[in-house]
Amino acid sequence: MFLLKENETIEDLQIDGYRLIQSLNGHRFGEDSVLLANHAASFFVNRKKKYAIYDLGCGCGAVSFLLAGKLVNSSITGVEIQEYPYSVYVRNILLNDLSHRVSGLNYDWNTLTGKTFKGVADIVVSNPPYFKIESGPTASDDSRAIARSFKKGSETELARAASYLLKSGGMCFIVYRSARLPDMLLALREFDLEPVNIRFVHAYAGSAPKTFLVSSRKSGKPGGLIVDKPLVIFDSNGVYSEQLKEYYGKSSPMTKDELYRGITNNE
């Protein structure tokens, strides 16, 4: 039996019956996590191959568990600096019976280069903080502040950690704010991560992109960057576009009984 604590919710990831416990008030997963997981998985034709994946700044684990459902034999390691999101990540591993494939590290990704992780990853993914310290919207609590702002790192340190983890030829996938594009591209190249694909994400057709998905290859050759067609979130009626519907799980939504199977609350 799994305890659902006060101010926690449980979500249906609509893939392989996976569920996600997350905080009601803290940083919550959203479209960016879905886009990142699908974008990363789309680069791998053989979905049954065993890949070693590291999810930097994994939070409660949305990207990790979506990838677990898409790259079905991969091993996934989530790296999270904050204690509470990390504890939820561990509970989600148990909830989804994925201890044989998914594990967590309660680390600051800046410390990974001082440990024995050099060249262990085929894939690194990250949905990192979007803002520098004292920039961007103000978060209501410290956990949100760390999730939204680089209080505990920077583009440079993220690129350094990803490069350290990746094998030669391994792939790094990041979703990030369009206004920060130059900073991210410079950081990736500084640490031998050659951008090979960029896809801009637009709320509506004709609107300016607020985010982008960037894919880079460890020790890749310069000169082959592909700017993919834009990804549009909403159609003119304000509902998810056909493009985005393709990114969400194909499983039928769980019933309430299925969603709360094995779950109790703290009352």
**pLDDT tens, position by position, 189-224:** 999 999 999 999 999 999 999 999 999 999 999 998
Contact between 233 and 35 under an 8 Å Cβ cutoff? The reply is: no
Two tokens, residue 211: 């985010």
Domain ranges for the chain, please list them: 2-249
In the prediction, which pLDDT does 94 show? 96
Spatial separation of the C-alpha atoms in residues 221 and 198, rounded to whole Å: 16
Q: What is the CATH number of domain 2-249?
A: 3.40.50.150
Output the CA torsion 106→108→109→112 (10° steps). -80
The residue written with tokens 């085929």 in the block is: 122
**pLDDT tens, position by position, 102-159:** 999 999 998 888 888 999 999 999 999 864 544 444 444 454 444 444 454 589 999 9
CA distances from 77 to 9, 28, 58, 163, 233 (A): 23, 19, 9, 16, 29
In the prediction, which pLDDT does 266 show? 62
